[in-house]
Amino acid sequence: MNAGQGDYATFGSYEAKLDVTGMDLACYNRMYFQIRPLCRGLHSPIIRAAFVNNGTVKIPDKYSREGFNAINLNNFEWNTCTWEIDSLAHDKVEEVSFIVYRYGQEISGGEELCFELRDIRFQQIEEPNVVHGWQCKHGTAAYSTTGYWRTGIKTAVADTDAKRFLIEDSDTGEMVFEGDVNTVKSFHGEFQVLDFT
């Protein structure tokens, strides 16, 4: 790639900022919001949720490595989004933002982007689903919330003692797949993989 010729260049960003200076958000471990993209022609609109922490540990740090979460959205419908922030410093959150980057107009895309936001809040939940990295709450699975390609690989990450898993059709209750639970050990930790390709 040649960045000088614009092979990988952004054409700016759009950012909605919410000033929460003075609010005590340290006791919360989840950020929750609903968002509806109204972006004609886009197949998978993306929003980047972010927050600024100006406490003991600064978020983002000087390398901008933490404090951001890119989320793929379903276009023209309300998406309920949650972000488990317990493992990130949030003792003095001062700003929450929602960012859209422009990399040029997609061939099928329209000339305008529109995102509607509502019900932005911080929550205290007993056990976050995904705590850190690949680790899920025991007895749960983390899967692609935007779906899977029909002919692609389909996997989920889990934390379970089970040896087998079932997938059922949510409309009919009919079992449509049964498979083995495989345990994986890597530098990410130990977890289970459910392969339902």
DSSP H or E run through 156: strand 155-159
According to the model, what pLDDT value does residue 133 have?
A: 61
Buried b (16+ CB within 10 A) or exposed e, 79-113: bebbbbbeebbbebbeebbbbbeeeeeeeeeeeeb
User: What pLDDT is stored for residue 7 in this prediction?
Assistant: 53
Would you list the domain boundaries of the chain? 10-123, 132-195
Summarize pLDDT for 79-107 with one digit per residue, the tens. 999 998 988 899 999 999 999 987 766 77
The per-residue pLDDT for 186 is: 82
Mean confidence (pLDDT) of the chain: 87
Is residue 5 pLDDT above 80, yes or no?
no
Q: Indicate yes or no: pTM above 0.85.
A: no
Highest mean pLDDT among 99-113, 124-138, 166-180: 166-180
- Asked if 1 and 95 count as a contact pair (C-beta separation under 8 A), the reply is no
Class of domain 10-123: mainly beta
